[in-house]
Amino acid sequence: MNSFLGLIKKEMIVSKNWILTWLITLTLILTSFLILALRNDTHAGIIYYIILIAFFGMHFFFIPLSMYSFLHVEGKTMLWLYNPNSSNKLLLAKLLVSTIYLVISIVVIGIFTLISLAMFGKPNLETSFSPSLVFYGIAYFFISSLSVAILVTFLWTVYHSLSKFPRLKRVRWLAVILVFIGLNLIDYFLFEHTQLIKNHFFNITFEMNSQIYFEIEGEKFNVDSIPFHVGTELYHLIKTVLLYIISCVLLDKKVEV
């Protein structure tokens, strides 16, 4: 446990300039949009709320980009080659720090949301969400982002592991692209071409009670339920776990960077 906490502390120290730069940039951007919204009397509030939602949505890529940044630093410094901890601990520490930074960044957006509510009041729309949908949406957002981050980690370890082979070293990017295409072809074969997952693998689907309701300036949007296919989600979970395990194996080989 102490070694794992040490890894987390190391990641925070190494990445502190990166996260501070991002938080300052995010604050300046949202402040600039807020000033522009205050100068615009027509629909100023709703425009700023849309901007906040857009920035929140872009945070789907926060953990993947953070992981790539952390791994890139490791690749340049080669600190991992001399680290006695397992690759599992190394990657988990990076994922955890990325998640912590994600929460901090979203808190900044939350602060600006409260400021906008104080200045513009509630937006002119009616909404209704079931608590289960909010929980599911947050969980799905985080897990999907984490899955993409693990895919990025897998492709990164494949790229650097190929440096051990002189004939492939110059075409490593092409090999990574082919691996990425191969993974997508497998998904296409299982889901679209044969629909094997949907029709034969854990063919269990249930409707999740969502109770979504929007009304914006007379325009109504209503969804009573969202289909949830167990086989599809289980497949993506197994795929993500396998990619993570393979990444750990490649990392344990102390690949040359």
- 82-107 pLDDT per residue, tens: 667 788 888 999 999 999 999 999 99
The C-alpha atoms of residue 171 and residue 167 are separated, in whole angstroms, by 8
Question: Nearest to residue 35, comparing CAs of 94, 115, 103?
Answer: 115
Is a pLDDT exceeding 50 seen at residue 143?
A: yes
Residue ranges of the domains in the chain? 1-123, 125-257
What pLDDT is attached to residue 149? 95
Is a pLDDT exceeding 70 seen at residue 73?
A: yes
The C-alpha atoms of residue 66 and residue 19 are separated, in whole angstroms, by 9
Average pLDDT, the chain: 79
Mean pLDDT of 229-253: 85
The pairing of strands 205-216 and 125-128 is antiparallel
- Asked whether 69 and 94 are in contact (CB, 8 A), the reply is no
First to last CA, the chain: 28
What pLDDT is attached to residue 107? 94
Question: Nearest to residue 154, comparing CAs of 86, 246, 84?
Answer: 246
Kindly state the tokens that stand for 248. Answer: 């750990």
Residue with more model confidence, 238 or 119 = 238
Burial class (CB in 10 A: 0-12, 13-18, 19+), 257: middle
Q: Which residue bears the tokens 């969502």? A: 210
What pLDDT is attached to residue 255? 46
Condensed to tens digits (0 to 9), the pLDDT of residues 184-239 reads 888 887 776 556 555 555 555 454 454 554 544 455 555 555 566 667 778 888 89
CB atoms within 10 A of CB 74: 21
Mean pLDDT of 104-124: 85
Condensed to tens digits (0 to 9), the pLDDT of residues 1-39 reads 677 888 888 889 888 999 999 999 999 999 998 888 877
What pLDDT is attached to residue 200? 55
